[in-house]
Amino acid sequence: MKKIKIGVIGLGYVGLPVAVAFSKKYKVLGFDINSKRINELNRSIDNTLEISTESLNIAKNRNFVLTDNINDLKTCNIYIITVPTPINTDNLPDLTALVLASESVGKILSKNDIVIYESTVYPGCTEEVCVPLLEKHSEMVYNQDFFCGYSPERINPGDKKRTIEKIVKVVSGSNKNTTKKINRLYSSVIDAGTYVANSIKVAEAAKVIENAQRDINIAFINELSKIFSKLNIDTNDVIDAASTKWNFLDFRPGLVGGHCIGVDPYYLAYKAKIEGYKPEIILAGRKVNNSMGKFVVSELFKAYNFNNSLSDKTNVLILGATFKENCPDYRNTRVLDIFNELEDLKVQFDVVDPWIDSDSFFSDHNIQVMNELPNKKYNMIIVAVAHDKFKTIDYEKLKINDDTIVYDVKGILEKPIYTSRL
Ligand SMILES: NC(=O)c1ccc[n+]([C@@H]2O[C@H](COP(=O)([O-])OP(=O)(O)OC[C@H]3O[C@@H](n4cnc5c(N)ncnc54)[C@H](O)[C@@H]3O)[C@@H](O)[C@H]2O)c1
């Protein structure tokens, strides 16, 4: 193969770290349709906070060029597609970005190029949806003129220890030779090594089941928390005890949002239904996890009403609005379910999240999020997200009186700081 030149399409949470990692060894061109994102990255600002300004500067001084013009990628011979694959309001796969990206790459594809998909999809999607678009727009034949691969991404945003180079990468290719080339390519930058899957479809399936399995495990624990609430026992206390057995799986209750665990099971369910199988456990898990915001609010009020009656002055502080701890990502955050419940109950609430871009959250959800704690006191406090900063707050200062409830959704506080938890 001639000198490797990589084009990365979609520079978000996944694409940017991928591009920076490859730029340590190869020439990399990063493309995003969002010109604002490209402008910021050109100023070495990554608003996903995954790559530091220093690392971006080093990458750009080395081999990394950014553009919002796909035609600049024409001279690349490897394309890596890392665009979003969300669900629509009916919980069905929304492949719009994947389709557009495949069309754009198809138009600039040359003979012998390799297109590798990293976006999470259902098994079969790469070859059934994307390859025909590449063929159509390149007017070339798959596995004859151009080749494909699939390598699912496993990064964990906000996790500064398990970075891309330190996570084993599953790779696959459309034929033996391409698989070899793709494996060599990823092995050259992934310190943890690679795992070669038997086919593209196997690699696609491996990714969705990793997240579907996690979703179901959490759903089981969430269901337990509903049962244990009726029995007046603390779920985390039960898990602490059960975890002393060697083969008990230590999952904790909580809200399940984001664009992976809360989304990927729907991709698998969609494909299963198309093939004539209606999944039961996968969708039941989704249903339980989606019900947790409402349950948290009902538990909160159960604890509060033990001693108090509601008035129009009753107020609630919600700590955290992102979908997970220590990162600014709030896509599909289930904290929204808590907001909606409180709004329905006509209870005043404030939201504090030090990680969130308040303006963008307001324009998406019409809810004001403060980055700092206000000088106010509250009747109820919900610790909804496990940001490290919430572990060191002086909760006494936020309490309106001794009856203030501190509801610790994620079980991050020590006794006796919290009043109740799932
Ligand atoms: N974020 C994660 O933790 C994570 C982990 C593993 C896998 N994934 C998967 O990786 C994929 C990307 O996720 P993400 O979190 O990086 O998304 P993201 O929203 O952070 O980034 C996607 C980027 O793609 C750009 N984009 C959209 N359409 C495009 C197009 N047609 N051409 C070029 N650029 C386009 C967007 O502007 C955005 O900058 C998804 O399939 C996701 O499920 C994400």
Asked whether 173 lines ligand 1 (CB < 6 A), one says no
Q: Among candidates 82, 84, 26, 24, which has minimal Cα distance to 56? A: 24
Is 260 an annotated catalytic residue? yes
pLDDT score at 1: 53
For residue 393, what pLDDT is reported? 96
Query: From the CB of 207, is ligand 1 less than 6 Å away?
Result: no
| Mean pLDDT along residues 158-181 | 95
114-117 and 78-81: which strand pairing?
Answer: parallel
Catalytic residue among 76, 125, 130, 260: 260
pTM, rounded to two decimals? 0.94
pLDDT at 268 over 90: yes
Which residues, other chains included, contact 340 with Cβ-Cβ below 8 Å and sequence gap of 6+?
293
Task: Indicate the range of 126-140, 150-164, 168-182 predicted with least confidence.
Answer: 150-164
For the chain, how big is the Rg over CA atoms in Å? 23
Backbone phi and psi for residue 83, each to the nearest 5 degrees, phi listed first: -95, 165
Residue 250: name the closest of 230, 271, 265, 235 by CA: 235
Percent of all residues in the chain with a pLDDT value above 70, rounded to a whole number: 100
| 2: confidence class by pLDDT, cuts 50, 70, 90 | low
Digit-coded pLDDT (tens) for 10-58: 999 999 999 999 999 999 999 999 999 999 999 999 999 999 999 999 9
The model's pLDDT over 349-378, given as tens digits with 9 standing for 90+, comes to 999 999 999 999 999 999 999 999 999 999
Q: Using alpha carbons, select from 54, 63, 16 the residue that is nearest to residue 37.
A: 16
pLDDT at 305: 83
Domains, the chain: 5-197 (3.40.50.720), 223-421 (3.40.50.720)
118-141 per-position pLDDT tens digit: 999 999 999 999 999 999 999 999
Q: What angle do CA 15, 20, 23 make, to 5 degrees?
A: 125
The two tokens of residue 23 are: 């730029």
Which of 8, 9, 11, 13 has most ligand 1 atoms within 8 Å of CB, for mutation?
13
Instruction: Round the average pLDDT of the chain to a whole number and report it.
Output: 96
Query: Residue whose CA is closest, atom 21 of ligand 1?
Result: 12
